[in-house]
Amino acid sequence: MRSVRRVALYGVLALAAVTFIYPFLWMASSTLKPPSEVGSLSLFPGHITLDNYRKMWERAPFGRALLNSAFVATTITAAVLVLGSMTAYAMARLRFRGRPLLNAATLAVLMVPGQLTLIPLYTVMVKLGWIDTYAALIVPYVFNATAVLMLRQFFLQIPQSLVDSGRMDGMGELRILFTIFWPLAKPALAIVAIFTFMGSWNEVLWPLLVVRDQRLMTLPQLLTVFALGGGAGSIGVSLASAMVLVVPVVVAYAFLQRYFIESMAGAGIKG
Amino acid sequence: MPSVSFEHVSKHFGEARVVEEFDLEVADGELLVLVGGSGSGKSTILRMLAGLESVTTGAIRIGDRDVTTLPPRERNVAMVFQDYALYPHMTVRDNLSVGLRLKSAPKAEIERRVSWAAGMLGLEPLFDRKPKQLSGGQRQRVAMGRAMVREPLVFLFDEPLSNLDAGLRAQMRIEIGSLQRRLNTTTVYVTHDQVEAMTLGDRIVVLADGRIQQVGRPVDIYRAPINRFVAGFIGTPPMNFLSGTIDQSQGTTAFIADGVRVQLPGNRAAARPSEPVTLGIRPEDLIVEPGGEGGGPPLPDVLRGRVLLVERLGGSSHIHLDVGPPPHRVVAAVSNDVLPDVGASVTAHVRAERTHLFGADGSALR
């Protein structure tokens, strides 16, 4: 009886897994199919070709866009980790006037939908003369309230005696943060890094607003312009460019998933 | 010159007055124990000395230096924390040397000090382990080693034994005491455990509600507590208290309560007739004998009562007695020669010359 239930359970789970993984595998395999086969639902190309990738590379500066995306996402992620953890440390461990207000204000930022600040932020970019610069792509994202609150929550669980001990040993606050808190907060930093990197990597709307120069475009932006603008010419080429977009995130996730799952599980237990 | 001095130090957290007018000098090489219940301010005093907590008013000196506003790293003190506070991601060796590395001490000097401390504490075999891989006692030793390698002017211990089991606690208590005597470094030790205070301290400071109750050698505090709080706090099992009044009608001074009359030795000049007072009797100053049923006038220096409970501790026992009316409960600490049964009637002779008398405000009457 138990084994029957087990088989049924695994059957349902397998079905669910297939519904999630199939579109991705179909996309991956379709990039390797000649145009005549792209319409088929089969996961196995009858004839393997790299034509779609070659055409994609010829028709738009995807290499440059890939580098732009990597540069922008990496810079934002590094800045969010450094600035976010510094803010979180201050909010969790330093005593200063107005700290409760700062906590409340940070929380309040989360409640404002991004779309609402889009236009004011755009105006600021125009006034600063930052349109068509990397600064416009990076600076508005270097401070992230979600990251601050997540890190703060994690930092609060680190015993105060470690901070005291660091101070007695002669460490300044920054050294305590980077040599004690960072190593202990690896899971939290990893999850913040993944979320920030993915968020920044996949961002389309903001780059579309502030960047028009093709040489500065990020990958998803270029892809959108390319595919929607009809530059791709065929579904196969569109899918190939989507593939280029997705692979780095999948690879990053594969490397960091241990932390990702740990911190998700931890968050559940610790409430 | 005292090694550490507190001059009228107070600490307030908003409205809460955690420490009030703390005035104390710690002699060079002395082991001073701050003891008190939770909320007594003992840890706050230690943290103010460490520089981890600011001082609201007053001044703290270490040697001839005013350190009141200096950050911890400039005070040359080292602290052992209740939870040891070892850096979890560093090996034992790194935990020991981190303070010196931060001071950019020469490599040879770091090596010398780390091996010296590790040798004294038997830590060499643990050098490459991380704190997670150590037992409680080993972590405790690493924490002490980390404090030792800094060769500070003052050691601070913040309830260092409270996370250990009873056996290990006794062992580490002895180790800390002998280590401190060997190093002869001024030490301030905070604990809520009066046994630790009695056994370790050259002097004890008993604290309650942020104020000093009494300062003195352990044996002096035990023999002559200055008030009822100290009398009840120092000593296990705690001192027995009986409420009554003073009677001077027969030419001598006696404590009387219902069915109890205890002749007070000497001239307790401070005690006035009819004043409500409390008599304090240490459990070991009660000699329990079988018998003593029935009424009759109170015999001098005798409590009559019934056995409520006998706690056998091995070498000795505690007998809990009901010596009413009114229901008074007292504990006697006795040897195991003859133990009465629960419910038996007994008499308890009071060693009147060793009793303590406290006035209505709790202060000792002498």
pLDDT per residue as tens digits for the range A126-155: 999 999 999 999 999 999 999 999 999 999
* Predicted confidence (pLDDT) at residue A104 exceeds the cutoff of 90: yes
Burial profile A171-195: b = 16 or more Cβ within 10 angstroms, e = fewer: beeeebbebbbbebbebbbbbbbbb
- Whether the CB of A157 is below 8 Å from some CB of chain B: the reply is no
Enter the tokens of residue A173: 């606050």
Question: Would you state the pLDDT for residue A145?
Answer: 93
Distance of alpha carbon B141 from alpha carbon B149, whole angstroms: 12
Closest C-alpha to B123, from B105, B146, B101: B146
Cβ contact A169–B52 (<8 Å): no
What average pLDDT does the segment A246-255 reach?
81
Distance of alpha carbon B99 from alpha carbon A2, whole angstroms: 59
Decide if B230 contacts B237 (C-beta within 8 A).
no
Decide if B3 contacts B30 (C-beta within 8 A).
yes
Burial profile B113-144: b = 16 or more Cβ within 10 angstroms, e = fewer: bbeebbebbebeebbeebbeebeebbbbbbbb
Decide if A263 contacts A190 (C-beta within 8 A).
yes
Cβ contact A165–B52 (<8 Å): no
Q: Which residue of B has its CA nearest to A176?
A: B87
Enter the tokens of residue B234: 């120092």
- Whether the CB of A159 is below 8 Å from some CB of chain B: the reply is yes
**CB-side neighbour CA atoms (13 Å) of B291:** 1
Cβ contact B89–A183 (<8 Å): yes
Decide if B303 contacts B207 (C-beta within 8 A).
no
Tell me, what amino acid is at A195?
F
Enter the tokens of residue B287: 């000699």
Question: Taking the model in full, what pTM does it have?
Answer: 0.83
Backbone phi and psi for residue B6, each to the nearest 5 degrees, phi listed first: -105, 130
Question: Would you state the pLDDT for residue B2?
Answer: 67
Backbone phi and psi for residue B359, each to the nearest 5 degrees, phi listed first: -80, 180
Side-by-side strand order, sheet with B186-191: B77-80, B154-158, B186-191, B31-36, B203-208, B211-216
* Cβ-based contacts of B84 with chain A (< 8 Å): 161
Task: Give residue-wise pLDDT tens across range A27-55.
Answer: 999 999 988 888 888 888 888 899 989 98
Closest C-alpha to B48, from B80, B81, B1, B10: B10
Question: Would you state the pLDDT for residue A235?
Answer: 85
Count interface pairs A-B at CB distance under 8 A: 51
Enter the tokens of residue B43: 């840890």
Enter the tokens of residue A2: 């138990």
Question: Would you state the pLDDT for residue A230?
Answer: 72
Chain B interface with A: residues with Cβ < 8 Å: 47, 50-52, 71-73, 77-79, 81-89, 98-99, 102-103
pLDDT band at A262 (very low <50, low <70, confident <90, very high): low
Backbone phi and psi for residue B247, each to the nearest 5 degrees, phi listed first: -125, 125
Average pLDDT of chain A to the nearest whole number:
89
Residue whose pair of structure tokens reads 């107070």 in the numeric block: B10
Enter the tokens of residue A239: 């899918």
Q: What is the DSSP string of chain A?
A: -HHHHHHHHHHHHHHHHHHHHHHHHHHHHHTTS-GGGTT---SS-SS---HHHHHHHHHS-HHHHHHHHHHHHHHHHHHHHHHHHHHHHHHHH---TTHHHHHHHHHHHHTS-HHHHHHHHHHHHHHHT-TTSHHHHHGGGS--HHHHHHHHHHHHTS-HHHHHHHHHTT--HHHIIIIIIHHHTHHHHHHHHHHHHHHHHH--HHHHHH---GGG--HHHHHHHHHHTT-S-SHHHHHHHHHHHHHHHHHHHHHHHHHHHHHHHHHHHH-
Question: Would you state the pLDDT for residue A260?
Answer: 67
Distance of alpha carbon B37 from alpha carbon B249, whole angstroms: 40
- Whether the CB of A100 is below 8 Å from some CB of chain B: the reply is no
Cβ contact B85–A170 (<8 Å): no
Question: Of B365 and A231, which is predicted with more confidence?
Answer: B365
> Hey, how many other C-beta atoms are within 10 angstroms of the C-beta on B328?
20
Q: Which of A159, A169, A183 lies at the smallest CB-CB distance from B102?
A: A169
Distance of alpha carbon A65 from alpha carbon B359, whole angstroms: 87
- The answer for residues whose C-beta is within 8 angstroms of residue A224's C-beta and 6 or more apart is A204, A208
pLDDT band at A81 (very low <50, low <70, confident <90, very high): very high
Burial-class residue A58 by CB neighbours within 10 Å (0-12, 13-18, 19+).
exposed
Distance from CA of A178 to the nearest CA of B (A): 13
User: What does each of the 366 residues of chain B score in pLDDT, given as a tens digit?
Assistant: 568 999 999 999 988 999 999 999 999 999 999 999 999 999 999 999 999 999 999 999 999 999 999 999 999 999 999 999 999 999 999 999 999 999 899 999 999 999 999 998 999 999 999 999 999 889 999 999 999 999 999 999 999 998 888 888 888 899 899 999 999 999 999 999 989 999 999 999 999 999 999 999 999 999 999 999 999 999 989 999 999 898 887 778 888 887 788 888 766 666 777 778 999 999 999 998 887 665 666 778 888 888 999 999 888 899 999 886 666 789 999 987 778 889 888 989 999 889 999 998 999 987
Question: Would you state the pLDDT for residue A63?
Answer: 87
* Cβ-based contacts of B71 with chain A (< 8 Å): 167
Residue whose pair of structure tokens reads 């972590």 in the numeric block: B139
What average pLDDT does the segment A191-205 reach?
90
Distance of alpha carbon B232 from alpha carbon B97, whole angstroms: 43
Question: Would you state the pLDDT for residue A56?
Answer: 86
Residue whose pair of structure tokens reads 């003073």 in the numeric block: B246
Question: Would you state the pLDDT for residue A121?
Answer: 94
Q: Which of B81, B99, B102 lies at the smallest CB-CB distance from A164?
A: B81
* Predicted confidence (pLDDT) at residue A9 exceeds the cutoff of 90: yes
% of chain A surpassing 90 pLDDT: 58
* Cβ-based contacts of A185 with chain B (< 8 Å): none
pLDDT band at A271 (very low <50, low <70, confident <90, very high): very low
**CB-side neighbour CA atoms (13 Å) of B319:** 30
pLDDT band at A269 (very low <50, low <70, confident <90, very high): very low
* Cβ-based contacts of A161 with chain B (< 8 Å): 81-85
CA angle A121, A127, A131 (to 5 degrees): 75
- The answer for residues whose C-beta is within 8 angstroms of residue A34's C-beta and 6 or more apart is A45, A47, A49, A51, A236
Enter the tokens of residue A260: 């990702």
Decide if A170 contacts B103 (C-beta within 8 A).
yes
- Whether the CB of A174 is below 8 Å from some CB of chain B: the reply is no
Q: Which of A161, A170, A175 lies at the smallest CB-CB distance from B99?
A: A170
What average pLDDT does the segment A61-74 reach?
92
Q: Which of A162, A183, A184 lies at the smallest CB-CB distance from B85?
A: A162
- Whether the CB of A169 is below 8 Å from some CB of chain B: the reply is yes
* Cβ-based contacts of B48 with chain A (< 8 Å): none
What average pLDDT does the segment A158-174 reach?
93
Question: Would you state the pLDDT for residue A270?
Answer: 35
